[in-house]
C-alpha cells in the first residue's frame, strides 16, 4: 500500500464550524504516527498566496548584485534578508537553494534573530504582502497549537499561556533551481525543524520528501490550497518522543523553478521546554538515527540558545563574522 500523509480539515480550530475534539484527535494521531500532516479549511486566501508567489519570483529572478542590496550580512545578528544559492548549509553541505529570511518586526537590538526585516524597495509590494501572509500564518499556527494541546489532553490555551506566550515566529521564502537529480544533489538535505511546528505552502513543482517511521521516504504532493504541517524538535522534546520531529528533504527534479514558503511557529525565546507529565512510558531516545546524531532530549538551556546554536551551523561564516 502506498503511504501518504493524513489530510485534516482544521476549520473547527478557527471557529468556522465543525468538531474541535475530532480535529484535535486527528492531529494527535498524525503527530504520533508520522509527525507530518496536510491541512485544509485553513481560511488563508489563495489570491494572497498567488500574489506573494509572483512577487517572490520577481525578486529571485533579479541579478545577484541587486539582491545583495538586502543581503543577510547587512542585518547582522537579526539574520534577516537574502542569501545566495549555496549560502545555507545542511550537515555542512551547501543547499541548492537561495532564500529570503523574515521575522516579526522587532526593535530589540543585540538579541539574535530579532530586529527589522530587510525587504527590497526595488520590489516594493513584496514586503507588505509578506507581512500580510505572516499575520495569517501566525493566526493559523496558534490555532494548530490549540489542536495539539487538546490532542495531548490539555487545555486548548496551554501553549499560549506557557511556552508560546510570546512565540518566536519566523518565515522563509526559498527558491530551488532545477537539479539534475544526481546523487547527493539536494535542494536541502535530510534535516528536522527546530521549534514546535512548521506550516509549508508551496508551488506546484513538488520535491518534498518525508522519511516515514518504517524508514521509507515518500514524496509529498504539491496540492493547490493545501498546507503541509510538520513537527519540530521542541514538540519532540516536550512529549519525550511520543510526537516525533520527522526528517525531511527536498530535491527539485521538476525542471522548473520551485518556490516554497515555510512558516515556523516556535516557543518563546526565553522558554524552558521540559517534558510534560504524559501517560505511559516515553519513547526511546532516537539520537542514534537522527540526521545530526544529537539528542533532542539531552539539550539543556532555553529555546533561544537552542535556535542560535542550530542557526550558527547553518550560516557558519555569517555567525563567525558577528564575533
54, 124, 134, 259 from 58: Cα distances, Å? 6, 11, 19, 12
Residue with cell 494572497: 48
| Residue 126 domain-assigned (yes or no) | yes
Q: How many domains does the chain have?
A: 1
| Residue 2 domain-assigned (yes or no) | no
Per residue in 264-290, pLDDT tens? 999 999 999 999 999 887 888 877 777
The grid cell for 105 is 518586526
Residue with cell 525531511: 248
DSSP track, 146-189? HHHHHHTTS-TTHHHHTTTSSEEEEEEEEEE------TT--SEE
Q: What is the pTM of this model?
A: 0.96
- To the nearest whole number, what is the mean pLDDT of the chain? 93
DSSP track, 33-91? HTSEEEEE-----HHHHHHHHHHHHHHHTS-HHHHGGGBGGGGGGG--EEE-TT-SEET
For residue 123, pLDDT over 90 is answered with: yes
CATH number of residue 283's parent domain: 2.60.120.330
Range of the domain at 161: 7-321
The pLDDT value recorded for residue 11 is 97
The per-type count for the chain, helices as H runs and strands as E runs, is 8, 14
Per residue in 26-75, pLDDT tens? 999 999 999 999 999 999 999 999 999 999 999 999 999 999 999 999 99
Amino acid at each position: 500500500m502506498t503511504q501518504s500523509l493524513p489530510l485534516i480539515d482544521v476549520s473547527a480550530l478557527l471557529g468556522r464550524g465543525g468538531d474541535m475534539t475530532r480535529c484535535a484527535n486527528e492531529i494527535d494521531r498524525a503527530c504520533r504516527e508520522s509527525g507530518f500532516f496536510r491541512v485544509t479549511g485553513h481560511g488563508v486566501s489563495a489570491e494572497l498566496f498567488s500574489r506573494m508567489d509572483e512577487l517572490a519570483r520577481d525578486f529571485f529572478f533579479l541579478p545577484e548584485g541587486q539582491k545583495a542590496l538586502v543581503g543577510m550580512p547587512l542585518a547582522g545578528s537579526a539574520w534577516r534578508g537574502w542569501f545566495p544559492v549555496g549560502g545555507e548549509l545542511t550537515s555542512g553541505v551547501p543547499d541548492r537553494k537561495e532564500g529570503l529570511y523574515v521575522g516579526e518586526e522587532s526593535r530589540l537590538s543585540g538579541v539574535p534573530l530579532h530586529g527589522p526585516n530587510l525587504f527590497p524597495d526595488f520590489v516594493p509590494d513584496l514586503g507588505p504582502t509578506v507581512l500580510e501572509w505572516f499575520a495569517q500564518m501566525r493566526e493559523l499556527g496558534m490555532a494548530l497549537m490549540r489542536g495539539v494541546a487538546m490532542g495531548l489532553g490539555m487545555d486548548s490555551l496551554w501553549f499560549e499561556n506557557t511556552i508560546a506566550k510570546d512565540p518566536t515566529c519566523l518565515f522563509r521564502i526559498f527558491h530551488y533551481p532545477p537539479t539534475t537529480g544526481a546523487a547527493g544533489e539536494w535542494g536541502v538535505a535530510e534535516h528536522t525543524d527546530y521549534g514546535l511546528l512548521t506550516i509549508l505552502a508551496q508551488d506546484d513543482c513538488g520535491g518534498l520528501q518525508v522519511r516515514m517511521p518504517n524508514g521509507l521516504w515518500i514524496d509529498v504532493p504539491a496540492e493547490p490550497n493545501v498546507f503541509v504541517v510538520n513537527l519540530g524538535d521542541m514538540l519532540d522534546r516536550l512529549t519525550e518522543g511520543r510526537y516525533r520531529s520527522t526528517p525531511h528533504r527536498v530535491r527539485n527534479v521538476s525542471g522548473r523553478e520551485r518556490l516554497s514558503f515555510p512558516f515556523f511557529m516556535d516557543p518563546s525565546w526565553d522558554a524552558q521546554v521540559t517534558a510534560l507529565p504524559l501517560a505511559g512510558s516515553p519513547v526511546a531516545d532516537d539520537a542514534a538515527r537522527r540526521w545530526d546524531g544529537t539528542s533532542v532530549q539531552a539539550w539543556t538551556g532555553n529555546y533561544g540558545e537552542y535556535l542560535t546554536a542550530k542557526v550558527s551551523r547553518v550560516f557558519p561564516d555569517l555567525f563567525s563574522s558577528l564575533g
